[in-house]
Amino acid sequence: MRPDFINESFLEYLFFNFGIINAINYYKLTFSPKFVIKAGKLLPEQCEFFKKLFYHGLEECMYRNEIRMEYDDFLTIECEPAEGVYHFHIHDQFKGNLIPVGGGKDSVVTLEALRPTRSENLILQYNRDIYPTNIAAINCAKVGGYAMDQIVNFNLTLDPLMLDLNQQGFYNGHIPFSSCLAFASIIMAYLNLKEYVVLSNEASANEGNIVGTTINHQYSKSFEFEQDFDHYVQTYLTDKIHYFSLLRCLNEYGIVQRFIQHPLYLDVFRSCNVGTKENKWCGHCAKCLYVYIMLYPFVSDVKLWQIFGRNMLDDPDLLDIFIGLVRPDATKPFECVGTREEISYSIDKGIALKPEQNPVLYDYYKKNLKVESSGYGVEEYFNPQHNIPEQYLEMLMHPEKFTEQSKSEPAGEESA
């Protein structure tokens, strides 16, 4: 039974917009020059927003499929023009936060920063049928003190024909997943009357993968997309819900510093795409190696081996991935990882803090990859380009000013 406050027309319009971005899963099969929308009406400016999102969100997919296409030659969106911006009368008593949680260290830092507002928060899980329920996300929420009735789910089923077409040779590859999550989060914020959708995307997400191009695996986590999307929401959807990333002012190194202050999460956090279905770290991919490097200076070797199953820094088979993470002129792995400079800084710090060790990859680094710092203050970094409301910035940067619940205690059953 739907609550009385729901405006059916507005909810339908939200799903119409979600449907457009979700269609990117199917559009990438052919990269058709024409994208025709018959389910609703859009202003030309809205069409341009989606064209830009499709293009930059699919640049990695085009690159890896050897599709060369300039922006002006990219798809044309055809849609019956709207007569103006839609105005819907909706409930105005929005309060609290909707926090998308993926189970990685970034969302953990957001959970802890927003601990003083926990009673007003909901955790969002975005579930696709090709991936099961995110166990790591649920476990992190429990460790953060959230009960199961504070976790809401947006479940999406993709047409199985798409997977069949992939097997037949149609194009496949990375889509801007976080943009699909963004539109879904606005729907869920509306249904639960939450004022803020609080993401956990950091400044490091702005760095691309290939020097001299705009290709960025994390485009839909970038500040550029955040700006574009929040403007779209405020202009065409509703000014009652605001979308921002709490961690935009931080780099990945700063996030790690906050994450390690909450060691209870070490046993439950996960951010390995390969191991998602089995809720584990595969121990062989770029994401696993990256997280290992960032934690290495601050977490004991015994604990790291317990988390990842082995000493990844002593594996010569990971050398190519390692070079991609560090060397400025190499293709950066297509994963959600930090900047090359902060990775190098973490490596240097790890070597300095554990001088008695000489793992294979770090030995190679010292002999072949180490470069002089550009003067970028990794530890003191603060990115002024963000949309963080003042009170939220205070909670993140000065948690001592707020009601402190220093220990993370699981709610309900023990976390796995």
User: Distance between CA 152 and CA 164 in Å, rounded?
Assistant: 31
Predicted local distance difference test score (pLDDT) of residue 244: 98
Mean pLDDT for the stretch of residues 320-336: 92
Mean pLDDT for the stretch of residues 363-385: 83
Beta strand segments in 307-350, E:
none
Q: Which pTM does this prediction carry?
A: 0.93
Question: Which position has the higher pLDDT, 134 or 180?
Answer: 180
Predicted local distance difference test score (pLDDT) of residue 408: 41
For residue 165, being part of any structural domain is answered with no
Final residue of a domain: which of 48, 81, 114?
81
* Contact predicate 325/294, CB 8 Å: no
Mean pLDDT for the stretch of residues 339-360: 92
For residue 365, being part of any structural domain is answered with yes
Predicted local distance difference test score (pLDDT) of residue 372: 63
- In the chain, how many domains are there? 2
Q: Among 290, 255, 259, 297, which residue's Cα sits nearest to residue 273?
A: 290
For 262, the 3-state DSSP assignment is: coil
Give per-residue pLDDT as tens, 236-248.
999 999 999 999 9
Give per-residue pLDDT as tens, 224-237.
999 999 999 999 99
For residue 364, being part of any structural domain is answered with yes
The domain of 66 spans 8-81
- Lowest average pLDDT, out of 17-31, 279-293, 367-381, goes to 367-381
Mean pLDDT for the stretch of residues 103-122: 96
For residue 245, being part of any structural domain is answered with no
For residue 219, being part of any structural domain is answered with no
Which of 26-30, 271-275, 402-406 has the highest mean predicted lDDT (pLDDT)? 26-30
What separation in angstroms does the CA of 67 have from each of 57, 59, 211? 14, 9, 18
Predicted local distance difference test score (pLDDT) of residue 414: 34
Predicted local distance difference test score (pLDDT) of residue 140: 96
Has residue 390 got a pLDDT over 90?
Answer: yes
Mean pLDDT for the stretch of residues 192-215: 93
Q: Which two tokens stand for residue 4?
A: 């009385």
Final residue of a domain: which of 37, 63, 81?
81
| Cβ-proximal residues to 150 (8 Å cutoff; 6+ apart), any chain | 121, 122, 123, 141
Element (H, E) at 99: strand 97-100
Final residue of a domain: which of 56, 81, 106?
81
Radius of gyration of the chain (CA): 22
Confidence of residue 377 (pLDDT cuts 50, 70, 90): confident
For residue 296, being part of any structural domain is answered with yes
For residue 198, being part of any structural domain is answered with no
For residue 372, being part of any structural domain is answered with yes
User: Distance between CA 280 and CA 136 in Å, rounded?
Assistant: 9
User: Distance between CA 45 and CA 36 in Å, rounded?
Assistant: 16
Has residue 405 got a pLDDT over 80?
Answer: no
* Contact predicate 186/14, CB 8 Å: yes
Q: Which two tokens stand for residue 231?
A: 């403007």
